[in-house]
Amino acid sequence: MTGTPLPPVVLASASPQRRELLGRLGIHFTVSGPEVEEVTHGEPREVVLANALLKARSIAEPGNLTIGCDTEVVLAGRLLGKPEDALRAHEYVAQLSGRRHLVLSGLAVIGPDPDDVRTGIAETEVVFRELTREGVDAYVATGEWEGRAGGYAIQGAGSAMVDSIEGDLSNVIGLPVPLLADLAPELRIPAGTDVPEPRGAG
């Protein structure tokens, strides 16, 4: 790969967490927020993959390397999605209390040739501590749940609710870096890259 120029990289996401994770890899890229109607029901792995592809395809142009990603929280086989209000956020966090859940990310990379479509799915198991009603109230009051699948952010105040994690932390934050390295070797992401957690809520 040495000496081969990298095509323009475009991230199909409005997520500040994904922008920061990609930026910390030292990759120059631009951002284009996709305007798509996301799939919200169905088999979880199919949903995240479909949404990642929708996002990437909505902005892909020949000559660019386009990255699309969708991250969802799955509890007992059910997609939790993003809570629309504080009441639903409280419901989600209370449901996660003391339980194991799965964080799934669908990743789609479209190469400079539009027919070059690469996809994959990352999954991470997260276990929450047993939370009190007061603890759930306090977390929801932070507002960190807004726009977050499952109603929490693992790299912010939500980290205090987590008992254990098995798998890739960057996947839970919102961009599975090891999977991206596999799907887009031209980005030359070193194997085993340890990506620091983004600052603040994510």
The alpha carbon of 46 is separated from its chain's Cα centroid by a whole number of angstroms, namely 15
Measured between alpha carbons, how far is residue 16 from residues 21, 90, 148, 194 in Å? Answer: 9, 23, 12, 19
CA distances from 99 to 125, 161, 190 (A): 10, 11, 34
Report CA Rg, the chain.
Answer: 17
Provide the token pair at 26: 């030292």
* Number of C-beta neighbours around residue 198 at 10 A: 22
Of 94, 96, 100, give the one whose Cα is nearest residue 136.
94
Beta partners for residue 193, in sequence order: none
Mark whether 70 is an active-site residue: yes
Instruction: List the Cα angle 58/64/13 in 5-degree steps.
Output: 45
Q: How many whole angstroms separate alpha carbon 143 and alpha carbon 151?
A: 9
Question: Which residues are tagged catalytic?
Answer: 70
